[in-house]
Chains A and B, each alone.
Chain A
């Protein structure tokens, strides 16, 4: 019985971690102020 509880706790922790990380996602950011270029830059 105690083994089952331990296994369930491990599973619940894994699910909680994955759900939390995916819910956080990645930061959005803003549109770059750089222009659309009409001449080649000297370097990348």
Chain B
């Protein structure tokens, strides 16, 4: 009976010990992925910002510029790309909509981002665009990969439509979470004008005035290293309309402001990330380490049972292997004769 129990314990010990690395290194990379149907809206605000008035081409101070950024997973398109490439992909159709204090549109930039659901690396399957202009990304955008590393990544910039390094600047604590802080600076660069501008103005009309759009930003992200999701983001963003061929003429500030995620959206994002990181930690840390400990304990129990089984006498066999029992002291001496 003990023998059988020790064999069962041994089988369970091997099961747990083998399951631990299999979960971490085989199952997790295949199970952890961004869901194709993910939908998310984030509101960002720039308080006391500078914004161009396109009617007068003069900058003015405004109380708030609001940006609404929506990400919408296009499941049908993701299935099509998977059928064509064999890769598990996510297709995000996004819209970055900026509005002035009166709610009137400042700019409206749609985008399509196609990326690997597991690694978050861009997938070039056609259809990628920014403001209806085809682009080819070579960096991440919006989200870091699962289990973020303490290193620089390449991050796609919507305005310049190019990727550039985003630098790891250390670990910070943000609302009770240990997060990695990343920063990217885009130097002054000439960028395309958005296709949709206020007052029905077209990019061609702005160009005909002899103006071109320049932009610089310092982009900051606080990223949860487990899920790769940013829990906070800020940008110190400046845009100017410069006079083509006339560097001596004063540029017109189109926008200048410190853009931050609205606090209620930060709180909501932190709560969501805290819930999701538990699941990732379960697969990458808690279950593997728990299973190893359980495997070792089961193996020890199996060995103890086996050792006891070997020491215990088999039923019907004398404890000393069958030698005649030694008589108690005294008895033998009397039986061998001597005094009656």
Q: Which one of B70, B75, B93, B265 lies within 8 Å of A30 (CB-CB)?
A: B75
B96 to chain A minimum Cβ distance, whole angstroms, is 10
Mask of A21-44 contacts with B, CB within 8 angstroms, 1/0: 110011011111011111111011
Contacts of B31 in A (CB 8 A): 21-22, 25-26
Contacts of B23 in A (CB 8 A): 18
Mask of B103-140 contacts with A, CB within 8 angstroms, 1/0: 10100101000000000000000000000000000000
User: What number of A residues sit within 8 Å (CB to CB) of B?
Assistant: 32
Q: Is the CB of B264 within 8 A of A10?
A: no
Count, A-B residue pairs, CB within 8 A: 112
Q: Does B294 contact A (CB under 8 A)?
A: no
Task: Classify chain B: how many residues form its interface, as a range.
Answer: 35 or more
B36 to chain A minimum Cβ distance, whole angstroms, is 6
Contacts of A28 in B (CB 8 A): 36-37, 75
Show 7 A/B contacts (Cβ-Cβ < 8 Å), sorted by A. A2-B3, A7-B11, A10-B12, A10-B18, A13-B11, A37-B68, A40-B68
- New contact pairs (17) apart from A34-B41, A36-B110, A39-B103, CB-CB < 8 Å: A6-B8, A7-B11, A8-B14, A10-B15, A11-B14, A18-B22, A22-B30, A25-B31, A30-B75, A32-B39, A36-B94, A36-B95, A38-B105, A39-B97, A40-B66, A44-B264, A44-B268
List residues of chain A with CB under 8 Å of any chain B CB. Answer: 2-3, 6-11, 13-15, 17-18, 21-22, 25-26, 28-32, 34-41, 43-44
